[in-house]
Chains A and B, each alone.
Chain A
């Protein structure tokens, strides 16, 4: 049984560009959350998707948006990239009505 998968593994973008990151949840999981982890810091909650809708949102600007598809996979989009957006972006999935979140390996985004 595959765990949470994310693509791509690494990405380099230029300031001002837009980026899309992808996540496939663990089998049987329908809730997907996205986190940003700056170097040397703990992950910060961006938002969570359930039933194809944004269920919760952390303290991130609306440059950060997302989508969940009928097969529960999800995308994170970031517009107008800033240097400060350079980070590891983590996706976590969980089954309905269960608190445990299981993380993928992350996508390392570098903005130059």
Chain B
């Protein structure tokens, strides 16, 4: 089955700096890669996703890149703000036109230092 590795487990950055979280996946058939943000006591919130036919996607301060050859994808957050502090999860799945079960990484605790 699919295996998703996520690094680092904890990331501390100064407010206004950029943060990068990296994930690798094992199953070359995976073609859908979402990122979720989870705040304390809440469920994961979808913040951005990318499909295997796209190399990069951007939404305001958040961007995701995908390297299919290396089976590697990354989340980039620019101009970090205190409200960006949370646990971030990457995930992967096969998507044959429907919602398949997601395989998640173990999460990155992002801390924004004021």
Binding site for B on A (CB under 8 A): 4, 31, 33, 35, 40-45, 47-48, 50, 56, 58-59, 90, 94, 96-106
Contacts and interface: CB of A to CB of B under 8 A. Distances in A.
Interface string B40-58: 0111111001010000000
Interface stretch (B13-21, B65-73, B92-100): B92-100
Interface residues of B, number: 29
Contact of B99 (A4, A40, A98): A98
B114 interface: no
Interface string B20-64: 000000000000101010000111111001010000000000000
Contacts of A97: 97-98
B15 to A, nearest CB: 25
15 contacts: A33-B102, A40-B106, A40-B107, A41-B106, A42-B91, A42-B104, A43-B44, A43-B104, A44-B104, A48-B99, A48-B101, A98-B99, A99-B93, A99-B100, A100-B99
Interface in B80-98: 89, 91, 93, 95, 97-98
A94 B34 CA distance: 13
A98 B46 CA distance: 14
A105 B43 contact: yes
A83 to B, nearest CB: 21
